[in-house]
Amino acid sequence: MLLAFGRSTLGTLPGHLGRRRGFTVTLAFSPGTPAVRVRLPAPPSQVRQDYHPECEAALNSHAALELHASFQCLAVAFYLDRDDVGLKHFSRFFLLHSHEHSKRAESLMSLQNRRGGRISFHNIRKPETQEWESGLKAMQDALNVEEHINQSLLDLHQLATEKHDPHLCHFLETGYLDQQVEFIKELAGHVSILRKTGSAEDGLAEYLFDKLTLGDGDKKD
């Protein structure tokens, strides 16, 4: 029996090959017989312990949500950086948070590997709009996304609690839950100030918020 990957014939099928991870091989029993493609099963993880499949699936779903938030912030950042919008500190604010959400998604995927789970990439939803009427509207949309993310984190933590997964609970408590609440508070504060100053109707108020509030934060960084 011959084993072929693509067009290359590699020789007799070794006895241990069935334990290799995720192989698709082509088998030919003789030169005159049709080749048969066989998908060899992946073995179970050697590090997986007390990791419930529902937690594994929920973690993948939340990673996709973090990537959606990163995509949303990235779209806002580059819209606000346009020459006809000119809110460079708003833009920098959203760009930094886009990077933060991307890092959080990567951290979740790293945890998935450490726990012996399998990463499953979902479709990432694009932003519902690609233009925003004002900095206030961009902040309001971001606040809605962050509240959705917070609810997803709470649901994931509740699931981990129900499935008796203290490691996942600790991971979320130390690196996600408090950070998410702080960011929601920051966004809500910005939305309140922008509403009070009437920035949606007053370009000068929006400009001053961009320069003095968000710009001052950039200097401190």
- Write out the residue limits of the CATH 1.20.1260.10 domain(s) in the chain: 53-220
Q: Say what the pLDDT of residue 46 is.
A: 76
pTM: 0.76
Q: Say what the pLDDT of residue 33 is.
A: 64
Q: Say what the pLDDT of residue 8 is.
A: 39
Cα 105 to chain center, whole Å? 4
Show the tokens assigned to 97.
Answer: 């948070």
Q: Say what the pLDDT of residue 38 is.
A: 60
Q: Say what the pLDDT of residue 213 is.
A: 86
Q: Say what the pLDDT of residue 35 is.
A: 63
d(CA 86, CA 211): 11
Q: Say what the pLDDT of residue 4 is.
A: 47
180 is in an annotated binding site: yes
Q: Say what the pLDDT of residue 187 is.
A: 96
Tens digit of each residue's pLDDT, the chain (221 residues):
444 444 434 444 444 433 344 556 555 556 666 666 666 566 677 778 789 999 999 999 999 999 999 999 999 999 999 999 989 999 999 999 999 999 999 999 999 999 999 998 888 888 888 888 888 999 999 999 999 999 999 999 999 999 999 999 999 999 999 999 999 999 999 999 999 888 666 678 888 888 888 887 455 54
Q: Say what the pLDDT of residue 106 is.
A: 97
66 is in an annotated binding site: yes
Handedness of CA 186, 189, 191, 197 (dihedral sign): negative
146 is in an annotated binding site: yes
**What is the three-state SS of the chain?**
CEEEECCEEEEECCCCHHHCCCCEEEEECCCCCCCEEEECCCCCCCCCCCCCHHHHHHHHHHHHHHHHHHHHHHHHHHHHCCCCCCCHHHHHHHHHHHHHHHHHHHHHHHHHHHCCCCCCCCCCCCCCCCCCCCHHHHHHHHHHHHHHHHHHHHHHHHHHHHCCCHHHHHHHHHHHHHHHHHHHHHHHHHHHHHHHCCCCCCHHHHHHHHHHHHHHHHHHC
Q: Say what the pLDDT of residue 181 is.
A: 97
Q: Say what the pLDDT of residue 15 is.
A: 41
Name the amino acid, one letter, at 203: G
CATH of domain 53-220: 1.20.1260.10
Handedness of CA 96, 99, 105, 106 (dihedral sign): negative
